[in-house]
Structure 1
Amino acid sequence: MGDSKVLEIPQVTSHNESSDPRLILLLLIKMINKSRGKILGVLALFLVMVWYSIYREDSFYFPVQENNKTTCPLGEVEKKAAQLIGNYTRDHPLFLQLKDYFWVKTPSLYELPYGTKGSEDVLLHLLSITHHSLPESIQSLKCRRCAVVGNGPRLRNSSMGDTINSYDVVIRLNNAPVHGYEQDVGTKTTMRLFYPESAHFDPRAENNPDTLLVLVPFKPSDFQWMEAILNDKKRVRKGFWKQPPLIWDAKPEQVRVLNPYYMEVTAAKLLNLPMKQPRKVKQKPTTGLLAITLALHFCDLVHIAGFGYPDSANKKQTIHYYEQITLKSMAGSEHNVSHEAVAIKRMLELGLVKNLTYF
């Protein structure tokens, strides 16, 4: 930030004094008053004032946490996650698979979205045509460096695209577009978590050819919709708070069904929500917090971008980088965003995740 030789003026003070730029400024003024070379003194004063203004800017700058890719922090996520998530384990599969629903010995304890109790029959039809494995390109990684990309306005004009593309695994949410926002959000999509009402995106245009389309099931009709779409059967129209798409160009081999275990962990362990709630006061985690929870169970490094909602008093600030809806649109949702913000801040404090954008 300038010529280092010119900025050696603080040598006129002691080591302790040199740490205070205000004192340097006062001493320099005294030197100028006694100096015969007033012009040189004024020039020196100008340079110090420039340096001082830069010093002040640096002292208030809150840097984005750096993306350290030189070493792989193997075991660090598990170690820190265990401090936050009771009975933390990586033993549960990420996606549901057909074999687990034949001759089931231990049926799920909960109904959707925290388990599959009562939905086994319709789920069997869906699992018979979809897959459950992670691609070999991810399975074989010695270190899985993951970026979970939220949909928040922090991404707008962020120029984070290249940074996001540099991760091994990029997880995106719902209908967040890539096309037209590449400079800010990147182009790489390893997984996209969605549910039927949020599936209003073109799977081919907004994803890569090998992107995993991960269904987050909230209710039995979600399974029915997905199976009808993939088998080109009569579409399910009832049971949705918003009409899902009736045409959706996706291949069955791309589709995965998220294990409801991760929704249970997000709700019970991170948000302390009861698994059985009265119908009138139900709360559910957002897809964003769920995606972070998922990453904490199979990644060796987890960075997040585009998370955080505006202050509740700010009624005009948009909540997505790609559309103009505000926090008011979430008034009737079953999400408690301030509660979730506390959970994410706790993760940041523990160093469990790192932030690529301001939260």
Structure 2
Amino acid sequence: MGKSKALEVPQVTSHNESCGPCLILFLLIKMINKSRGKILGVLALFLVMVWYSIYREDRYTQLFYFPVQENNKTTCPLGEVEKKAAQLIGNYTRDHPLFLQLKDYFWVKTPSLYELPYGTKGSEDVLLRLLSITHYSLPESIQSLKCRRCAVVGNGHRLRNSSMGDTINTYDVVIRLNNAPVHGYEQDVGSKTTMRLFYPESAHFDPRTENNPDTLLVLVPFKPMDFQWMEAILNDKKRVRKGFWKQPPLIWDANPEQVRVLNPYYMEVTAAKLLNLPMKKPRKVKQKPTTGLLAITLALHFCDLVHIAGFGYPDSANKKQTIHYYEQITLKSMAASEHNVSHEAVAIKRMLELGLVRNLTYF
């Protein structure tokens, strides 16, 4: 009796608008009765394909991405960075201040072994003037953290269309480089900036547009002219125009209270310990660390957890692939630079192997 009802076709009348769906239902039931095995087989195959697709995607994620674990805030790996960094960096210590401070050039006059970029020898006078109007401390909001979770955001092309913005914003400290923009790229790179490392040629002419109001603007000094540029800008003196490979901004609207001068010690560590560059005659060595590798080194000296994003370059044979997420500069432009990107890639991969840092975008 149930079967006869299932095969009963509704009458088509002007008052029965549901006749079409009823007819479709009838035909489907009839087809299922005749070929139920085939349909179940197709359904089973479909489910297997869906499972395999999800498995393959998960496997790809495991191989090439290092996602942030949600429990990092509650299970802080205190001491892990120091222990692993000591395996990579000889005489590793956290005793050196992050930023230069006035007392070292006014009261104590701490001698420096090297000239810039690995020391301050010969630049004490201009530093005395510069450090009298800038600051050196970390904000209390960072100092008071029981666990400093840091993200170092590189400028690499791999950040484009990465959708990493929300993840990057969850870190306690977000370190950015040079003039890499945030506005318009928030979905991929986030909007939070705790520190921005830069040198005069890479300074954005209006630092307020791409940073938060409380962002620390950290000068990375490569040469004495960098100190002179900063001191002239902040004291509104006659601008320094010569001695740069590219004209830096002549107007740079920044709050001196947010400006810091990076301790050249970290440039020395990056060059000598990570890139094995000779320190006996550093002026004769043309190779210098990139701001990106320097930023990672800095993070390893004050963070409890270090993740990186947007690092790595295209294959050397790929001359047309852009190297930055925000501009059309290719790897060819790096040929004339003083950076050895291959050596830096080896250094970062060594950090990844040790578990010293984790990568949010594949390297």
Scaled by the length of structure 1, the TM-score of the pair is 0.86
Q: Could you list the per-position Cα deviations for residues 42-96 of structure 1 after superposition, in whole angstroms to 9, with x for gaps in the alignment?
A: 54345434434544454x9986777833311111110110010000000000000
Is contact 1:65-1:355 (8 Å) kept?
no
Higher radius of gyration, 1 or 2: 2
Is contact 1:94-1:259 (8 Å) kept?
yes
| Structure 1 residue 319: Cα displacement | 0.6
Moved over 6 A (4+): 1-36, 60-67
Is contact 2:67-2:360 (8 Å) kept?
no
Gap change, CA 1:341 and 1:86, over 3 Å in 2: same
Q: Secondary structure at the match of 2:251?
A: coil
Select between 292-301 and 49-58 the one with higher mean Cα deviation. 49-58
| Structure 1 residue 18: Cα displacement | 47
Select between 97-106 and 15-24 the one with higher mean Cα deviation. 15-24
Aligned mates of 2:3, 2:302 — CA distance in 1? 47
Aligned mates of 2:107, 2:38 — CA distance in 1? 93
| Structure 1 residue 251: Cα displacement | 1.2
Gap change, CA 1:148 and 1:46, over 3 Å in 2: closer
Scaled by the length of structure 2, the TM-score of the pair is 0.85
Q: Could you list the per-position Cα deviations for residues 219-264 of structure 1 after superposition, in whole angstroms to 9, with x for gaps in the alignment?
A: 1110000000001100001111111000000011111000000000
| Structure 1 residue 306: Cα displacement | 0.5
Aligned mates of 1:291, 1:316 — CA distance in 2? 27
| Structure 1 residue 278: Cα displacement | 7.0
| Structure 1 residue 200: Cα displacement | 2.8
Aligned mates of 1:16, 1:291 — CA distance in 2? 73
Q: Could you list the per-position Cα deviations for residues 297-342 of structure 1 after superposition, in whole angstroms to 9, with x for gaps in the alignment?
A: 0001111111111111100000100000001111111000010000
Is contact 1:28-1:45 (8 Å) kept?
no
CA RMSD of aligned residues (A): 10.2
| Structure 1 residue 265: Cα displacement | 0.3
Gap change, CA 1:350 and 1:224, over 3 Å in 2: same
Aligned mates of 2:100, 2:256 — CA distance in 1? 14
Is contact 1:177-1:201 (8 Å) kept?
no
Give the equivalent residue in structure 2 for 1:303: 307
Aligned mates of 1:16, 1:275 — CA distance in 2? 91
Gap change, CA 1:25 and 1:224, over 3 Å in 2: farther
Q: Secondary structure at the match of 1:172?
A: strand
Whether 1:230 aligns to 2:234 is: yes
Is contact 1:32-1:41 (8 Å) kept?
no
| Structure 1 residue 202: Cα displacement | 1.7
**Structure 2: tracts of 5 or more residues without a match:** 59-63
Q: Could you list the per-position Cα deviations for residues 266-298 of structure 1 after superposition, in whole angstroms to 9, with x for gaps in the alignment?
A: 000000001244756510000000000000000
Count of residue pairs the alignment pairs up? 358
Is contact 1:13-1:24 (8 Å) kept?
no
| Structure 1 residue 20: Cα displacement | 46
Gap change, CA 1:301 and 1:35, over 3 Å in 2: same
Is contact 2:225-2:243 (8 Å) kept?
yes
Give the equivalent residue in structure 2 for 1:264: 268
| Structure 1 residue 136: Cα displacement | 0.7
**Structure 1: tracts of 5 or more residues without a match:** none
Percent of counterpart pairs with the same letter?
95
